[in-house]
Amino acid sequence: MGRLEGFSAVVTGAASGIGRASATLFAKEGARVVCVDRAEAVEETAASIQAHGGQAIAMTGDAGDEAFVQAYIQRAVDEFGGLDAVYANAGITGGPTPFFELTPEIWTEVLRINLIGPFLAIKHASKIMIPKGKGSIICTASVAGIRSGAGPASYSASKAGVINLATTAANELYGTGVRVNAVCPGLIETGMTQSVFDYARSRGSEGRIGQLNPLTRAGVPDEIAHMALFLASDEASYVNGQAIAVDGGLSSSHPVGKRGGPR
């Protein structure tokens, strides 16, 4: 029996990176998964799950559009008979625009996808979950939402909003049995961060990636997917309203000039 055996789940941003890894892992653990993304590559995620004996369907659309959010929630209910877990993972950085060149349009789009998208997922998923008295909703935040230095201002502010959304929504759903939590990834090699890794490799400084955290390395999507799996499962039945950093320890410290360690 898998840890999500019999679950009906949705994963957004499932075309690549953390979303693809999570959808794949959820299916491996027994969930029937609606894979959602605006990129057509989400079809490949669902096809791969099916090829390995899992159950999955793909939907393409905008995770920040309310009508589409309602559609993917309803699709999970119609295809798989209910809804047990939603991982609202879809997000964008808004690009490497310098602070004083950021525009209201960039801010609006980043907030729409990164913050309003998870809000809509919570709003509509919880309506399905409340009558059952249980359910898990997970949102992807970021260490950039904890403090500065991990992303552009608009992205960081949106992820700080996701952290607050998880705590606020958990309390809005007081007494319903529906849990809401956030995952705060550190530096993970995905399409979103690929330019950082490519640049380091081109300079021969790949070994320095992740040097600011105590594990002195970057993470991989599967490491975030396993946290999402835990939060989606009944193993996390008493975990609610939390923002959990999965960052090698990066957010455990303020920057310092010298580190301790074995001599």
- What does the radius of gyration of the chain's CA atoms come to, in whole angstroms? 18
166-172: Cβ within 8 A, 24+ apart: 166/139, 166/141, 166/241, 166/242, 166/243, 167/241, 167/242, 167/243, 169/119, 169/122, 169/126, 169/137, 170/240, 170/241, 171/241
Rounded to whole angstroms, the Cα distance separating 246 from 146 reads: 12
- Report the SS3 class of residue 182: strand
Contact between 99 and 77 under an 8 Å Cβ cutoff? The reply is no
* Spatial distance between the Cα atoms of 232 and 230, rounded to a whole number of angstroms: 5
Q: Which helix (H) or strand (E) holds 123?
A: helix 117-129
Distance CA 202, CA 195 (A): 10
Q: What stretches of the chain adopt beta strand conformation (E)?
A: 8-12, 32-37, 55-60, 85-88, 135-140, 178-185, 243-246
Residue 237: what residue type? S
Instruction: Reply yes or no on whether 155 is catalytic.
Output: yes
Among 149, 142, 135, 179, smallest CA distance to 163 is for 142
Q: Pick the catalytic residue: 72, 87, 155, 238?
A: 155
Q: Which residues are catalytic, by number? A: 155
